Amino acid sequence: MARYSRRRLLGSLGLVTVGTLAGCSGTAADESADGSSTTSTDGSGTGLNLQEANVVGVELTQQETAVEFAVTLHHDDEGEDGYANWWQVETLDGSELGRRELTHAHSSEPFTRSEPIEVPDDVDCVIVRGHDQTHGYGGQAMLVSLGSGTTEGVDQGPEPDSFEGVDCP
């Protein structure tokens, strides 16, 4: 049986969807002391702190020399002075593979932005992190298995800690 590289396999599939944003039903907001929306339910029962840049979906498209990451973030850009200012793709040991800069606020609704990123052939799992101007890291990041096309939302914490040794979904 022939063994195919991850890039060749993904290329033959064309588009691999590894995570999508849940529908709008089931969304609830809590208000902080100043009246701004601070948490929401993403439809799966998981509460998200919308003051943080939460990664809620990732789609991959194999290109000739890179993988295009379409990342959906959910952050209350209208609720404070800062906004979600970038997302990045890293190896599990924390080495940055690429970053998509965001130059302006995107309201309080989820939004998706894409960026082609070169991923070494020997990398089978990555972490996609969001970042915002006010709080830095925090909220939900996404573990992405490039081989199987599955994702898992994980709390990334306030520091860019390594996910080395974490089982990929």
Give the CATH number for residue 72: 2.60.40.150
160 within domain boundaries: no
Residue 44 has pLDDT above 70, yes or no: no
161 within domain boundaries: no
Contact 70, 114 (CB under 8 A): yes
| pLDDT the model gives residue 27 | 32
165 within domain boundaries: no
User: Which residue, 39, 71, 79, 38, is CA-closest to 55?
Assistant: 71
Q: What are phi and psi of 10, to 5 degrees?
A: -60, -40
Quote the number of domains for the chain: 1
CB atoms within 10 A of CB 123: 17
Q: Which distant-in-sequence residues (6+ apart) come within 8 Å of 22 by Cβ?
A: 42, 43, 44, 56
More confident residue, 18 or 90: 90
Query: For residues 50, 78, 81 and 86, what is the CA-based torsion angle, rounded to 10 degrees?
Result: 60
68: containing domain? 6-20+49-155
Tell if the pTM clears 0.85, that is, is over it.
no
